[in-house]
Chains A and B, each alone.
Chain A
Amino acid sequence: MSKNRPVNLDLRTIKQPLPAIVSISHRITGVMLFIGLIFMFILFDMSLSGAEGFASAETIMQENFLAKFIAWGLLVSLSFHLFAGLKHLVQDFGYGEELSSANVAAKVVIVATVVTALLAGYWVW
């Protein structure tokens, strides 16, 4: 049998419902957080390295726009990842396994993340 058969998997042509978009975003934010770990660890290391290090960590977080932006991005990723993760936990207990409730849950994750993103922005800046 020929192995050259084409496969229809052009993702642009396949509609994805909201829960699917939330799920892939969950993964993407997970990978982003993994990459951001280096930033978090450096900052944490700095803050515990002594009074001087703590002060410079504070300065960076108060004055460096890039650092602020990264921190904000990580906070947003973290909140999304966390909310989507909580949704998973809730689903694991057998809630939200109907189409309608799953859609509502996905919307809740998005709304909660948007709210957190605004708060985090306010906090960081």
Chain B
Amino acid sequence: MLNVSVYRYHPEQDQKPYMQDFQVDTGGKDLMVLDVLFLLKEQDSTLTFRRSCREGVCGSDGMNINGVNGLACITPLSDCVNNGKLVLRPLPALPVIRDLVIDMEQFYQNYERIKPFLQNDKPAPAIERLQSPEERAKLDGLYECILCACCSTACPSFWWNPDKFVGPSGLLQAYRFLADSRDTATEERLAELDDPFSVFRCHGIMNCVNVCPKGLNPTKAIGHIRNMLLSRGT
């Protein structure tokens, strides 16, 4: 039997969120946290959470699992449970719609703010734009982001200034386009980021790297952006 404590909040019924305790029979198996949630939903069908691919590539089921942000579908109990207890809370700092479901609007806005699409002022050729394997290799560790928000909601700088600091995910994406040899809007992109908040609120504490379910390193990407700003500004 596994003791599970889940953050509950229903906007139509609850004034305030509360923690609800469950007991789940895992059958002694090392289930994924998402499997546990399905078992909980069989007990109480009102329990609400997002899920889709269940294999860690869609980014739906980011949540705070025993104090650490992660994807429920690829977090096995053996990785997160201590003292036989599992505590599930929504991702921090963003408004809770219901139970484990948060309103990700601010997170998406920050993504959109960095103009997350390829910009190239030259007319497109009849075939693809050529790119050497070395140039392409620069995008590794960047393009794999799944927008699950685990990183940004683990970042204190994002907590305090979610509307001004772009956050690790957005900045990783910003660098993904800065680093793309096919993108020509480098100057415009950098100009948009050169203020005291957007990039420079990162203090390199690497909470983002610590929780990224895809093993990406936004801190490093932010460092690259800073260096680009540096060589542009000095």
Contact = CB atoms under 8 A, between A and B. Distances in A.
Interface of A: 2, 4-9, 13-17, 19-20, 22-24, 26, 88, 91-92, 94, 97-99, 102
B107 interface: no
A11 B20 CA distance: 19
Contacts of B87: 13
B185 interface: no
B111 interface: no
A26 B203 CA distance: 10
Nearest to A3: B95
B206 A17 contact: yes
Contacts of A24: 156
Interface of B: 7, 9, 11, 16-17, 64, 66-68, 87, 89-97, 102-103, 154, 156, 159, 203-207, 209-210, 217, 219-220, 223, 226-227
Contacts of B17: 6, 8
A68 B113 CA distance: 52
A19 B115 CA distance: 31
Nearest to B87: A13
A15 B66 CA distance: 8
Contacts of B226: 92
Nearest to A22: B205
A9 B69 CA distance: 12
A4 B96 CA distance: 9
Given A6-B16, A17-B210, A23-B205, A97 B220 contact: yes
